Amino acid sequence: MKTENQFMHDYLKREHSFKPKWVAYNSRKDLRLNANHYQEKIAPLYSMKFFSKLTQKEKTDSYHLYIQFIAEMQIFLEKILVYGFFKFRKSDSDLNPEVRNSMRLLAREELYHTQGYQNFIDQQAPSKPLFIHNRFFRKAAAFCLNHNPLAITLIGAKFEAVSAPYFAELVAVIEDKNDPWFELNKIHMQDEVFHVPLQFDVYNSTVKKFGFIKTIIPMFFLYMVFQLVLLKGMRKLIKQSYPNRSTLTRNLIILPQMVYWASRKMESFQKSRVLLSKQFKAKAPRYRRALKFIYA
């Protein structure tokens, strides 16, 4: 298997340079968000109809819980990545050393990220997990990866592409640069910018091994798992943020607006789709037409 990939080559020079900032962040005990940590423009439902009907407490609570949702989503995604990459590296003894080492480095970075996000979540109290302990999601993701451990590559890139535009949004709205959520996203984004193109390179160097069916079907299923995670996460967020609203209001009015806001309306998600489709053009991954559901 031939790579000759300059990007991978450069990426590997980063070895260990990612570590110190995570060690420093993970030793911190001052990460708890309070009522002052609230940003209207990136709060859930902002610019949606229902936003004007929310009380300030509902807005602040949902803002904090949305942050928790992103943190849980990162942990979920990163654990899947580590599992998939580990499984694949184990199964393929002829793997090009550059690809193997890139996968190993990316997985090591994700392990540090997971600890960072977990450390952040642990300090937010009282907070109940939104979906991270859900066994069905873990099993469903593992099921996809057992059929193709690299199904996570381009699906992972889809979510990793959000890091940079989301951080740009934080830069624009957060004045306090010591805000713990701001700092976490800043150091995470510094690593993630490498991951998106890298996922495409890993995919391109290994996709032949699996072929069309074993690539598209596990990827599509994994994509659906993430859609369910979004739905479940938003339902829980709504339940915990707006406890005084009726079940009917929560499910029929707020939920559809919340899902639309989180997956389409947020500026960072719109920008991430542009970034991703540019990568699809530049890296020309095999079966890209069939994979359009990832970035459309």
CB of 199 to Fe ion, least distance (A): 8
| Tally of CB atoms within 10 A around 289 | 6
CA distances to 19, 100, 205, 214 from 111, rounded to whole Å, are 11, 17, 23, 27
Burial 170-183 (b: 16+ CB within 10 A, else e): beeebeeeebbbbb
Q: Which is nearer to Fe ion, 65 or 155 (CB)?
A: 155
Inter-axis angle of helices 180-206 and 56-91, to 10 degrees? 30
User: Residues 286, 106, 266, CA angle at the centre, nearest 5°?
Assistant: 75
Q: Which of 160, 169, 179, 201 binds Fe ion (CB under 5 A)?
A: 160
SS3 annotation, 134-197: CHHHHHHHHHHHHHCHHHHHHHHHHHHCCHHHHHHHHHHHCCCCCCHHHHHHHHHHHHHHHHHH
Structure tokens at 267: 């500026």
201 sits near Fe ion (criterion: CB under 5 A):
no
What binding mask, one character per residue, do residues 232-251 give for Fe ion by CB under 5 A, x or -? --------------------
DSSP state of 48: S
Closest CA to 113 of 43, 18, 238: 18
Question: Taking contact as CB under 5 A, which single stretch among the options 2-10, 47-55, 152-160, 273-281 is the one that binds Fe ion?
Answer: 152-160
195 sits near Fe ion (criterion: CB under 5 A):
yes
Q: Which is nearer to Fe ion, 45 or 105 (CB)?
A: 105
Q: Which is nearer to Fe ion, 170 or 258 (CB)?
A: 170
What binding mask, one character per residue, do residues 79-118 give for Fe ion by CB under 5 A, x or -? -------------------------------x--x-----
Identify the residue whose tokens are 């989503």: 73
Q: Which is nearer to Fe ion, 87 or 265 (CB)?
A: 87
Q: Which is nearer to Fe ion, 120 or 261 (CB)?
A: 120
Q: Which is nearer to Fe ion, 22 or 242 (CB)?
A: 22
With CB under 5 A, what is the number of residues at the site for Fe ion?
Answer: 5
Question: Taking contact as CB under 5 A, which single stretch among the options 28-36, 95-103, 126-134, 157-165 is the one that binds Fe ion?
Answer: 157-165
CB of 188 to Fe ion, least distance (A): 6
Closest CA to 30 of 235, 179, 224, 176: 179
Question: Taking contact as CB under 5 A, which single stretch among the options 24-32, 188-196, 208-216, 283-291 is the one that binds Fe ion?
Answer: 188-196
Q: Which is nearer to Fe ion, 58 or 160 (CB)?
A: 160
Asked if residue 170 lies in contact with residue 145, where contact means CB atoms within 8 angstroms, the answer is: no
Which residues bind to Fe ion, rule: CB under 5 A?
110, 113, 160, 192, 195
